[in-house]
């Protein structure tokens, strides 16, 4: 469904390299893209995969690759290049158990930090995390839309349990957002490839091979794309790279809130664990407990608007995720001051609804 | 504007050290472009890291892409691939890369050669990493003194062109930066329809000539000593380019995008609450496909389902299992805290369920339907044994087991099976129908299912 979502979003270029549990996306794209007039290709490694995608995007196509943690580790250099050159591209990162080769067929939510904190300079990479097949489709379209609008790499953080579980999808109920395409440069005379107007903060795009000269560089540059050292304009371009994400943070937010204004407990989850969390909330409520639930689909930038709303009345905040160290909990903690924060974590298997319910009840008792 | 001003201005101030081969290359490249009359907007100059990466700013009318170390070839390949499906076509990527970049990005060169994408790569081979302080590269000659081979290089240099020849490269040339023929060689490479490489041998005057007794005049001697030929060493006109291959490939009839259309029946399943099943057996015995067929039948009867498969990494040996959840409502948690039903059709399947904790997770309410040949005795749950493997073909045993359980727990209407069997390939349909029938028959004689 992630691949189907990408196709619906207008993806017309895919380069991939086999890796469990992301190979399904690769296979669907190899089969389906040529039929739509697109191009799907087997790359000789993950570095090439993402380089080919970025090259194709520079030529003007919407492009995606799919990988897992070990492959993403190899792609980070090129993802940073896409960020610096403001080249739209989508990377589907289907997580598996790490570190290293880890467990290829075991699910995990252990790549949150590796996904988000992968740029020198700490720039925000927008990350969407689907919890089921329908969300794979919908969030793939959102990922492409934001990648195009912001001209930046976007991650779709899925995992083995979401990507390799067959499930029924009611395709009539899918909410397919309107498609967004990158804003193209029109003025020929004074086009500056890295100059952008406030408040959108995103420069117009000139495709390589088009009528307007494209100047692309991953080195620190001014608004004309010239390599410069010690130029205030270079700093302002770098600042804008982050500002363009922050300026749209509220619009990027995607959550599935289930809030009880009178509840003192808030449960937060994402990805596959959000499914168990939703079931746990139903169980706890049926036993008379008042609890709010925030299922976050857009992990980064942190959805501050909904987070603030959800934590407003809460005294205790639980974050359930399938990793040992509470990666997303740590990212949320700066925004949860004054709250008691508890992690519900495990690795190697899905966190079950009863495990979550027990953890919440344990603290309450 | 004169044609030459479209490329490199004759008065352009070049940023390179005095005597550096890079200056010669950019001038000859400009002349070659001029000779071919390539429209500037049809060319993209893709530069690598190093002094060579300063070249893009010298060509103000070409598209320019300054990339990461060694990856310039891969980015250019991506642009060329995309160009192959766009109209109008005709983008000409030129890659300017050093010997260091060609080494770290060697696989990109190899793959571009295999694909035969229409890009031209100019490898500036000055036998070392210049910008970073004169370290040796994989193309440094034997005994070459560099910052990192102070006693001389003792690893034999890669013969880049021979290597790329084995990757089916179609146009390979080697020239000295000082050669009068460099311009025409670059023009031939640019004009060549397919992957072309020109290795340009030059000297780094900051480091190469500082530590080694060489000058521009000794370049040819260095090349000869390595046994390398000069000039256009390989031209293969017959190989189709990626663009031709792609067009040819797309001429064949395009398959229609088929969606698995499971019909929705009027007769609905009788299931009030979620039910969780594990089906386990031996790899290659269609355990997972039986489970998938079951889920499709459930879908036809209006149920939601999730199916998760597992097998050893080798795929075709050992166990094979599927975990299924069926529900009248959308399913949230897909795990298996305690299974309601466990169907095991072989010893491999049983061993895995013991290993992965499923057996231990069974409760008193769990129904375990085991093939009669499985020797183990479960300590919890209601155990039924049926001679599935004996009566059915082992490759049909999983489907028979499902049918046997359903016979006594009739949650699906028979129309559901008929509907999904109709979607099966003809040769499978009869087999599957027979397997279902065997299961039903065994169940009728099989006690408290």
How far B290 CA sits from the closest chain A CA (Å)?
Answer: 14
Asked if A256 has any chain B CB less than 8 Å from its own CB, the reply is no
Residue of A37, A168, A276 lying closest to B333 (CB–CB)? A276
Residue of B65, B255, B309 lying closest to A208 (CB–CB)? B65
Length of chain B as a residue count: 449
Identify the domain containing residue A350 by its residue range. 256-364
CATH, residue A308: 3.40.50.920
- Phi/psi of residue B255, each to 5°? -65, 145
CATH, residue A59: 3.40.50.970
What pLDDT does B393 receive?
86
User: Which residue of B lies nearest to A167 if distances are taken between CA atoms?
Assistant: B306
What pLDDT does B3 receive?
53
Is B77's CB within 8 Å of A39's CB?
no
pLDDT tens sequence across A296-338: 999 999 999 999 999 999 999 999 999 999 999 999 999 999 9
What pLDDT does A171 receive?
85
Contacts of B258 (CB under 8 A, 6+ apart): none
pLDDT in 10s for each residue of chain B, 449 residues? 555 578 998 788 999 999 999 999 999 999 999 999 999 999 999 999 999 999 999 999 999 999 999 999 999 999 999 999 998 888 999 999 999 999 999 999 999 999 999 999 999 999 999 999 999 999 999 999 999 999 999 999 999 999 999 999 999 999 999 999 999 999 999 999 999 999 999 999 999 999 999 988 899 999 999 999 999 998 988 899 999 988 887 776 566 666 668 888 988 889 999 999 999 999 999 999 999 999 999 999 999 999 999 998 887 889 999 999 999 999 999 998 899 999 999 999 999 999 999 999 999 999 999 999 998 888 899 999 999 999 988 889 999 999 999 998 999 999 999 999 999 888 889 999 999 999 999 998 755 45
Asked if A167 has any chain B CB less than 8 Å from its own CB, the reply is yes
Is B334's CB within 8 Å of A165's CB?
yes
A263 SS3 class: coil
Whole-number Å distance between alpha carbons of A310 and A333: 14
**Per-residue DSSP letter, A214:** P
CA B263 from centre of chain: 35
Please report whether residue A318 resides in a domain.
yes
Per-residue pLDDT for A31 more than 80? Answer: yes
Residue B50: both structure tokens together: 């190093």
Is B334's CB within 8 Å of A211's CB?
no
Residue of B77, B80, B299 lying closest to A168 (CB–CB)? B299
Name the A residues in 280-339 with CB < 8 Å from any B CB: none
A39 vs B contacts (CB less than 8 Å): 81-82, 84-85, 246
Q: Check whether residue A22 and residue A165 sit in a common domain.
A: yes
Cβ-Cβ contacts under 8 Å between A and B: the total is: 184
Asked if A349 has any chain B CB less than 8 Å from its own CB, the reply is yes
pLDDT tens sequence across B181-234: 999 999 999 999 999 999 999 999 999 999 999 988 899 999 999 999 999 998
Among residues A115, A150, A173, which one ends one of the domains?
A173
Is A55's CB within 8 Å of B77's CB?
yes
Among residues A173, A193, A221, which one ends one of the domains?
A173
Q: Which of A239-243, A270-274, B400-404, B424-428 has the lowest mean pLDDT?
A: B424-428
Q: Check whether residue A9 and residue A103 sit in a common domain.
A: yes
Q: To which residue do tokens 């619009």 refer?
A: A251
Please report whether residue A160 resides in a domain.
yes
How far A113 CA sits from the closest chain B CA (Å)?
Answer: 24
In angstroms, the Cα distances linking B119 to A254, A305, B81, B84, B110 are 42, 48, 10, 12, 13
Please report whether residue A303 resides in a domain.
yes
CA A213 from centre of chain: 31
Q: Give this prediction's pTM.
A: 0.96
How far B189 CA sits from the closest chain A CA (Å)?
Answer: 20
User: Where are the domain boundaries for CATH 3.40.50.970 in chain B?
Assistant: 3-250
User: Where are the domain boundaries for CATH 3.40.920.10 in chain B?
Assistant: 275-444
Among residues A173, A196, A224, which one ends one of the domains?
A173
Please report whether residue A272 resides in a domain.
yes
CATH 3.40.640.10 fits B275-444, yes or no: no
Per-residue pLDDT for A62 more than 60? Answer: yes
What pLDDT does B257 receive?
61
Asked if A213 has any chain B CB less than 8 Å from its own CB, the reply is yes
Asked if A88 has any chain B CB less than 8 Å from its own CB, the reply is no
Please report whether residue A313 resides in a domain.
yes
**Would you identify the CATH topology of the domain B3-250?**
Rossmann fold (3.40.50)
Please report whether residue A39 resides in a domain.
yes
Is A213's CB within 8 Å of B84's CB?
no
Q: Check whether residue A155 and residue A272 sit in a common domain.
A: no
Residue of B78, B292, B332 lying closest to A56 (CB–CB)? B78
Per-residue pLDDT for A339 more than 80? Answer: yes
Please report whether residue A131 resides in a domain.
yes
Whole-number Å distance between alpha carbons of A94 and A137: 14
Give the total number of structural domains in chain A.
2
Residue B176 near residue B201 (C-beta atoms within 8 A): yes
Please report whether residue A80 resides in a domain.
yes
β-strands B231-235, B171-176 pairing: antiparallel
B60 vs A contacts (CB less than 8 Å): 213
Q: Check whether residue A166 and residue A267 sit in a common domain.
A: no
How far B66 CA sits from the closest chain A CA (Å)?
Answer: 5
């Amino acid at each position: 469904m992630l691949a189907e979502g990408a196709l619906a979003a207008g993806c017309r270029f895919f380069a991939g390299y086999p890796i469990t549990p992301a190979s399904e996306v690769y296979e669907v794209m190899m089969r389906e893209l040529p039929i739509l007039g697109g191009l799907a290709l087997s790359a000789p490694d993950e570095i090439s995969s993402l380089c080919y995608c970025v090259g194709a995007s520079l030529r003007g196509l919407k492009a995606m690759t799919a990988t897992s943690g070990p492959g993403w580790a190899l792609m980070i250099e090129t993802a940073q290049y896409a960020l610096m050159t403001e080249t739209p591209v989508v990377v589907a990162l289907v997580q598996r158990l790490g570190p290293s080769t880890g467990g290829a067929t075991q699910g995990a939510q252990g790549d949150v930090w590796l996904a988000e904190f992968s740029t020198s300079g700490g720039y925000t990479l927008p990350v969407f995390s689907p919890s089921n097949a329908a969300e794979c489709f919908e969030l793939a379209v959102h990922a492409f839309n934001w990648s195009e609008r912001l001209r930046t790499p976007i991650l779709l953080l899925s995992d083995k349990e979401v990507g390799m579980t067959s499930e029924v999808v009611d395709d009539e109920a899918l909410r397919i957002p309107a498609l967004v395409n990158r804003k193209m440069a029109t003025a020929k005379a004074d086009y500056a490839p890295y100059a952008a107007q406030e408040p959108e903060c995103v420069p117009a795009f000139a495709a390589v091979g088009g009528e307007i000269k494209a100047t692309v560089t991953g080195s620190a540059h001014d608004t004309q794309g010239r390599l410069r050292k010690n130029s205030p304009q270079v700093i302002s371009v770098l600042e804008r790279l982050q500002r363009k994400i922050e300026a749209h943070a509220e619009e990027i937010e995607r959550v599935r809130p289930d809030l009880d204004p009178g509840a003192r407990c808030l449960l937060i989850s994402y990805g596959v664990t959000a499914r168990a969390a939703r079931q746990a909330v139903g169980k706890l409520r049926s036993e008379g407990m008042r609890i709010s639930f925030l299922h976050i689909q857009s992990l980064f930038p942190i959805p501050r608007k909904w987070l603030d709303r959800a934590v407003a009345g809460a005294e205790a905040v639980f974050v359930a995720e399938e990793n040992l160290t509470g990666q997303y909990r740590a990212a949320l903690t700066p925004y949860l001051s004054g709250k008691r924060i508890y992690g519900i974590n495990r690795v190697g298997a899905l966190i079950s609804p009863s495990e979550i319910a027990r953890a919440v009840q344990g603290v309450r008792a | 504007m004169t044609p030459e001003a479209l490329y490199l201005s004759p008065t352009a101030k070049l940023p390179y050290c005095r005597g550096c081969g890079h200056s010669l290359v950019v001038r000859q490249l400009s002349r070659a472009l001029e000779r071919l009359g390539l429209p500037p907007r049809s060319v993209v100059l893709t530069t690598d890291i190093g002094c060579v990466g300063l070249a893009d700013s010298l060509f103000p009318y070409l598209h320019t892409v300054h990339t990461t170390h060694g990856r310039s070839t891969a980015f250019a390949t991506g642009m060329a691939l995309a160009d192959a499906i766009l109209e109008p076509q005709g983008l000409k990527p030129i890659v300017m890369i050093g010997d260091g970049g060609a080494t770290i990005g060697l696989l990109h060169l190899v793959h571009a050669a295999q694909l035969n994408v229409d890009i031209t790569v100019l490898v500036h081979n000055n036998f070392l990493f210049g910008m970073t302080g004169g370290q040796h590269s994989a193309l440094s000659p034997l005994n070459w003194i560099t910052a990192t081979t102070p006693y001389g290089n003792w690893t034999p240099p890669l013969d880049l062109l021979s290597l790329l020849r084995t990757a089916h490269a179609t146009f390979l040339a080697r020239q000295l930066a000082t050669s009068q023929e460099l311009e025409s060689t670059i023009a031939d490479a640019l004009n060549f329809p397919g992957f072309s490489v020109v290795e340009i041998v030059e000297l780094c005057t900051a480091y190469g000539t500082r530590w080694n007794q060489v000058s521009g005049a000794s370049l040819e001697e260095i090349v000869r000593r390595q046994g390398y030929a000069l000039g256009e060493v390989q031209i293969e006109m017959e190989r189709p380019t990626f663009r031709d291959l792609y067009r040819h490939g797309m001429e064949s009839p395009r398959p229609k995008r088929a969606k698995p259309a499971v019909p929705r029946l009027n007769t609905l399943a009788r299931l009030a609450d979620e039910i969780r099943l594990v089906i386990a057996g031996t790899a290659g015995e269609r355990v997972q496909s039986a489970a998938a067929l079951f889920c499709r039948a459930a879908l036809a009867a209006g149920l939601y389902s999730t199916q998760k498969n597992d097998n050893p990494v080798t795929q075709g040996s050992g166990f094979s299992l599927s975990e299924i959840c069926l529900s009248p409502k959308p399913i949230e948690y897909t795990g298996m805290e305690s299974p309601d039903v466990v169907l095991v059709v072989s010893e491999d399947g049983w061993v895995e369920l013991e290993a992965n904790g499923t057996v231990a997770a069974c409760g008193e309410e769990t129904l375990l339907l085991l093939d009669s040949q499985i020797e183990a005795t479960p300590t919890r749950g209601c155990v039924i044994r049926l001679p599935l493997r004996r009566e059915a073909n082992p490759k049909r045993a999983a489907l028979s087991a499902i049918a046997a359980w359903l016979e006594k727990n009739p949650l699906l209407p028979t129309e559901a099976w008929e509907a999904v069997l109709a979607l099966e390939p003809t040769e499978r349909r009869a087999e599957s129908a027979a397997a279902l029938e065997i299961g039903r028959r065994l169940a009728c004689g099989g006690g408290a299912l």
